[in-house]
Chain A
């Protein structure tokens, strides 16, 4: 399922004429606009605002050294994103997944706001109570409030999922665009390294590495998932970049004397990024499921960490007498994975013109 985005068509856009214009060599000195809210960027802008924005964006492009330029510049260069956003707002799939993800992220940042008890304040007298008005999800063997524990488990899953996918995407975008754009020797070297990584299944590789580590926290598990997870996405970025590179506007930019870095940042990446974003969204769900599976198998997070995988692993011994111990973390885990996959699906529908 990690291959989901491979068929996604790379949108073919006519180049924005103004973006081809050579920029004046001296910075005009005005402060680049920094957006606090990324979502607002996807809103269709009125032409006047867009034009004034343009200057500041161009300014920002010259000043920022990082990859994020390509990502943040997208809405301006593309009516595709405006179209996509207009489409997304009306799609129930997108609205449902966005609301679910927003709720989960808020819970993961402030679990204390929603929890009714301290998840580590357990009383053995309350061991294995059924769900009630006092303990909404019942209590576990140690008498901990299960509702509060389940909420605190959100934090681990969401942070591992987002942390890992963030770095996987960076590796994939940098490696994939270098590999796809420059081709030749660099491409062969990166390609062969990817081939090697590609044949090591994530769960299996995770078990091998993590079983040798004594103390495992969020960072260790994320690191292993990053190390094992980047290959598929890198291949996707590479093929997407290859497809965009063949377009005339890339040739035009080169003819105008644009540097390779500028072409990649300004012309190639903004047009090649759509399938990457789709798969990244799905990947968050995949990584969260992988973390839970590893914790379930006893090679992921360790007690006293609060993780859904660990909770399910413990609940396994009592699935007949106390099935609710399995159902609640299982349901939370499934809903979390579901919302990210749904988000990916919704994004695909909006970004892939072939399906429109």
Chain B
């Protein structure tokens, strides 16, 4: 396990620098002069241009700029917005909402998705199984933002069960957005756990467990489920990326003051620095989550470790 852990950690370093470099390079090669974009229609005095260039190190070569940028990131500095407010401060403001939303969505995914998947897998070919397959297919096909508006119209406006938008009722106003945000992964987890369970139920060790005279709940709950959940756990890392992309859309639709909405607002206001700053932060979160799941995967499945 120790060697596996060290290897994973070592692999993380090039990916970290590579991904931050990639974001930086993609932004760097984009056409347009940032200072001219900042000044708008009025041309700036050459002294001002020079001062700005020095301040933002725009006169330095590409790699030096990247080194400065990554150095700042290590110090928790993700740049400032146009009003001079640090992006890290903005995120500290917005993150709690997004984390709550993501946790709630995650909870729905695991509780509803897993239950539906396991029940469908156990009753393979029965009515409930077909119901889960068809309904998950429909949910997978409807893009998050369409689903968000449908939920808003039906449950918010027509039925009045949930707040339509905003964040005035705390956790309660997050329930509907979290369901929408988690719907895609919920459907996928249901399908994944069903397939995995069905596959494992045919395994020899399950037959052995049954032959030993163990009760069905024990055979399924202890013996089969533990192995069936491995692919589901791996999926959770990928899922986090989907949650972040989805949070931008969901928070915009439901007007929640989270990080996702901050990205949207910055995009609308064309505040490139804020977009890049938040994106860098989110990509780092995603990378760390990927690493953690990789490690967890190694704990769960010894075959991976000795590969």
Q: List chain A positions with a Cβ less than 8 A from chain B.
A: 1-3, 7, 192-193, 195-197, 199-205, 207-209, 211-214, 285, 289, 292-293, 296-299, 312, 316, 319-320, 323, 326, 330, 333-335, 337-338, 341-342, 345
Contacts and interface: CB of A to CB of B under 8 A. Distances in A.
A140 B270 CA distance: 27
Interface of B: 11, 14-15, 18-19, 22-23, 26-27, 30, 32, 137-138, 140-146, 149-150, 152-153, 157, 184, 188, 195, 231, 235, 238, 241-242, 244-246, 248-249, 252-253, 263-264, 266-268, 270, 272, 275-276, 279, 282-283, 286-287, 290
A197 B22 contact: yes
Given A199-B286, A208-B26, A319-B153, 16 more contacts: A3-B238, A7-B195, A195-B11, A199-B290, A201-B244, A201-B282, A203-B244, A205-B23, A207-B263, A208-B27, A211-B266, A212-B30, A214-B32, A312-B149, A319-B157, A341-B140
B187 to A, nearest CB: 8
Nearest to A297: B264
Contact of B149 (A204, A214, A316): A316
A296 B137 contact: no
Given A199-B290, A209-B26, A334 B149 contact: no
A212 B145 CA distance: 23
Contact of B146 (A199, A202, A312): A312
Specify the main secondary structure of chain A where it touches its partner. Answer: helix
A320 B263 CA distance: 26
Contact of A199 (B15, B142, B276): B15
When A and B form their complex, which 7 residue pairs have the shortest distance between CB atoms, in order from nearest?
A203-B245, A338-B141, A196-B18, A201-B241, A330-B146, A212-B30, A289-B143
A208 B279 contact: yes
Nearest to A3: B238
19 contacts: A3-B238, A195-B11, A196-B18, A197-B22, A199-B19, A200-B23, A200-B283, A204-B248, A204-B263, A207-B275, A208-B26, A292-B143, A297-B267, A316-B149, A319-B152, A320-B153, A323-B153, A338-B141, A342-B141
Contacts of A337: 141-143
Contacts of A338: 137-138, 141-142
A67 B83 CA distance: 53
Contacts of A202: 245
A285 to B, nearest CB: 7
A213 B27 CA distance: 10
A334 B141 contact: yes
A22 to B, nearest CB: 38
B145 A200 contact: no
B270 A211 contact: yes
A1 B140 contact: yes
A188 B181 CA distance: 36
B161 to A, nearest CB: 16
Contacts of B32: 212, 214
Contacts of B253: 316
A1 B152 contact: no
Nearest to A334: B142
A5 to B, nearest CB: 12
A297 B244 contact: no
B264 A200 contact: no
A7 B22 CA distance: 30
A293 B143 contact: yes
Contact of A192 (B18, B272, B275, B283): B18
A193 B142 CA distance: 32
Given A199-B286, A338-B137, A211 B275 contact: yes
Nearest to B287: A199
B283 to A, nearest CB: 6
Nearest to B267: A211
Contacts of B140: 1, 341
B137 A298 contact: no
Nearest to B243: A201
A196 B22 contact: yes
A320 B279 contact: no
A333 B143 contact: yes
Contacts of A2: 238
- Kindly name the residue among A203, A296, A312 whose own CB sees the greatest number of chain B CB atoms within 10 A: A203
Nearest to A345: B137
A333 B147 CA distance: 11
A160 B283 CA distance: 26
Contacts of A296: 145, 249
A312 B145 contact: yes
